[in-house]
A and B are shown apart, each in its own frame.
Chain A
Amino acid sequence: MNTLETLLHDDLRSAAGSVDIPVSLNAIVTERDRLVRGDRRSRWVRWALVTVVALLALGGLWWAQGTLWRVPDTAVPNPLQSPAEPLPAPTPEPSASPTSEPTPDTTAGPTASGLPGRTVGVYVHYVAEGPSSLNLVRELRQVPAGTPARGALEALFTAPHDPDYVTLWNPGTRVLGISKHDDVITVDLSREALAFNLGVAGEAMMVDQLVWTLTEAFEATDRVLLRVEGRAFETGHDLYDRPLARADATSSPITVVVDTPVHGSTVASPVRVTGLAAAFEATILWTVTRPDGTTVAEGTAMTDEGMALAPFAFDLPALDPGTYVVAITVDDPSGGVAPAPPSDTKEFTVR
């Protein structure tokens, strides 16, 4: 009978049985109200946390998307060029005048009326990354003859053919309008144009891409007023609220660009190399190598004018049938002290 448990049970009952502790309903209700307020507060804090997390996630998505957009997608085919269409400017004419800059057809102007489906070649400007700086480059693209300026801009937002080139513009950008009054070309772009993260140098190069492409499609001396959905273009470093001209740059954004031979083209020997270069004392250096890197030939050539952007044209020595890479760079006046100047390379096949 007197087990430990029984004794304990009796002891607890006996000791607690004489305890008389009153409780107050008022105190209970007051305490309940305090608890409910605490619930509301913690619920509010929970919602605030959820909101903050959701906003951060959205921001992250926006940022990730913006980053992905800037990756040049060379897998995207050029919508302006049908597969049946050959690469533009396949073979340079050996008889072309070495002093004339190869320019697109002058009907590239906005007033040119082309039949539907007809195309015209326009130089569209892209960017190549050099060892120490960005180099504005250009590529001949076929665009609808009726709307060459719009076509050139739309080509500007797509990937270039040369794998060394990229566009800094968001591929999702749309052209909302292009107009010209006197010498001012006004272009209005969709808000997708604002999705970039390039740094000061990249932003300037991005604007150069557009200014040089549009002034190529109209007149080289025109000025370009860039708008995004009707408002001045703003990069975070600069406000572009006034018309921009090619001449605004203190130095040419193009250091060197090879127009022909076109990357991946098949040409006859002798191969004529043409392009533009801003070279000290007008000297450019050229090298021809096989794809394995062995040098076949090298030499120098002259542009039309030193210290300024000027065309060049010269013939390579006779080459056996096969695939080659030609590299052009400008003379380095510092003798190697300054960072290496940009170069441009093209791979081509001699038939």
Chain B
Amino acid sequence: MLDESFTEFVRSSTASLTRTAWLLTGDHALAQDLVQNAYAKTLRAWDRVAGPGALAYARSAVVTGNVDRWRRTRGEVAVGLEFERPSPDRFEDRVADRDRVARMLATLTPTQRRVVVLRYHEDLSEAQTAEALGMTVGAVKSAAHRALAALRSHYPDAAGPARTHPEEGAQR
């Protein structure tokens, strides 16, 4: 029998993890595979990771699983060409919005993309991002800085420089 605590964990974390996976892949089916595979890894290790650390473990599995997939297909995943069935309301806006974001993220390197997703979608700190990706904090800072520089052209109205540390540019 499946552990009750695991099914509860899946229920509570699916939305967050599938969105992360979608941002990383830009593809509905790939994101689903990625998340289910990450949950399988988490379930295999459930005796160890059950509890507060479970989400971090599963998120790490999503990110590293994605790395595996990128390595396997030797390149970027094609994005934005086909999307999941949209909900009837605000159909056009949604599709256009997702398409734009997916295309924008596709211009980043895999590492930059993962850092951006964890930092600005999951709202992880630099230290948490570094831990999830198995990188040093310095490498996370550097990847985020370069990613923001690359994305700046998509936001002509953005104020504040992203020239030095992204952290400094985040003053509100």
A-side residues, CB < 8 A to B, are: 1-9, 11-25, 27-32, 34-36, 39
A21 engages B170 (CB within 8 Å): no
Indicate if the CB atoms of B121 and A28 lie closer than 8 Å.
no
Q: Is B171 an interface position by the 8 A CB rule?
A: yes
Residues of chain A with a CB closer than 8 A to B81's CB: none
0/1 string, B79-102, CB within 8 A of A gives 1: 000001011000000100110111
Between-chain CB contacts (< 8 Å), 18 pairs: A4-B158, A4-B169, A7-B157, A7-B158, A8-B116, A8-B151, A9-B120, A9-B123, A11-B101, A12-B101, A14-B97, A18-B98, A19-B98, A21-B31, A21-B35, A23-B14, A23-B32, A27-B36
What is the total number of residues of chain B having a CB less than 8 Å from a CB of chain A?
50
Overall SS of chain A's interface? helix
| Interface SS majority for chain B | helix
Contact with A along B17-47 (1 / 0, CB 8 A): 0111111000010011001110111011000
Contacts of B23 in A (CB 8 A): 12, 15-16
Q: Report B-chain residues with C-beta under 8 Å of the C-beta of A1.
A: 159, 172
* Chain A residues in 8 Å Cβ range of B36: 23-24, 27-28, 31
Given A12-B120, A17-B19, A36-B44, the answer on whether A5 and B35 have CB atoms closer than 8 Å is: no
Question: Count of A-B contacts with CB under 8 A?
Answer: 124
Q: List the A residue with the shortest CB-CB distance to B46.
A: A32
Is B134 interfacial (CB 8 A cutoff)? Answer: no
How far, in angstroms, from A312 to B73 measured CA to CA in the complex? 88
How far is the CB of A20 from the nearest CB of chain B, in Å? 7
The CA of A27 and the CA of B43, in the complex, are separated in Å by 12
Question: Inside 8 A of A34's CB, which chain B residues have their CB?
Answer: 40
Give CA–CA (A226, B32) in the complex, Å.
Answer: 76
Query: In the complex, A15→B121 CA distance in Å?
Result: 10
Q: Are A21 and B171 in contact, CB atoms less than 8 angstroms apart?
A: no
With contact pairs A3-B159, A4-B148 given, residues A18 and B94 touching in the complex (Cβ less than 8 Å): yes
* Least CB separation from B116: chain A residue: A8
